[in-house]
Amino acid sequence: MHELGIIVHVAKTLKNVAQQNNVSKIGSVTLEIGEVSGVVESYLTDCWQYYRKKDSLIENSELKIEKLEAVTFCDDCEELYPTVRYGRQCPYCGGYNTWLAVGSECNIKEIEAC
């Protein structure tokens, strides 16, 4: 259901993008979804199938999803490591001064349109 909210916002953003670029049909939309963004890909696709029918701009548009692997940076030893495997604790120095560098994204990357 969270995914439906995201799709509604994608559609809203695309309406502005279409206006700015003077296009009226969108053939595909590519989203970048971070590995730890909490977004479930299959739900997102289902919501897209449902919601696109409501809007002529996107009704025939395909949703493409590019996954971004989550990476965390450690401020103490300045190393990057995979987030999903190690979590918040740095596997190199054992410290907790870490922050998510990549992985929480939920971006519209590009569209194909005419």
Partner 1 sequence: MTDKMKIIEVKQSVFADNDADAEKLRQQLKGEKTFLLNLMSAPGSGKTSVLVQTIDRLKDDIKIGVMEADLDSDVDARTIAERTGVKTIQLHTGGMCHLDADMTRQGVKELETGELDLAVLENVGNLVCPAEFDTGASMNVCILSVPEGHDKPLKYPLMFTVCDAMIINKIDVLDYFDFDLDKVREYAYKRNPDIKIFPVSAKNGEGMDEWCKWLKEQVCKWNS
Of 31, 25, 53, nearest in space to 44 by CA:
31
What are the C-alpha distances in Å from 102 to residues 32, 61, 84, 86? 11, 27, 11, 14
- The tokens of 109 are what? 């990357």
- Asked if 93 is part of the footprint of partner 1 (rule: CB under 8 A), the reply reads no
Q: Distance (Å, rounded) from C-alpha 114 to C-alpha 111?
A: 10
Q: Which amino acid is at 34?
A: G
Choices 20-28, 45-53, 66-74, 75-83 (CB under 8 A): range interacting with partner 1: 20-28
- Asked if 94 is part of the footprint of partner 1 (rule: CB under 8 A), the reply reads no
Position among 57, 63, 74, 111 found at the interface with partner 1 (CB under 8 A): 111
Minimum Å distance from CB 10 to partner 1? Answer: 6
Q: Distance (Å, rounded) from C-alpha 46 to C-alpha 48?
A: 5
Minimum Å distance from CB 50 to partner 1? Answer: 12
- Asked if 55 is part of the footprint of partner 1 (rule: CB under 8 A), the reply reads no
- The tokens of 65 are what? 């999803």
Position among 38, 50, 56, 94 found at the interface with partner 1 (CB under 8 A): 38
Q: Which residues bind partner 1 (CB under 8 A)?
A: 1-2, 4-6, 9-10, 12-14, 16-17, 21, 23, 25, 27-28, 31, 38, 88, 96, 105-114
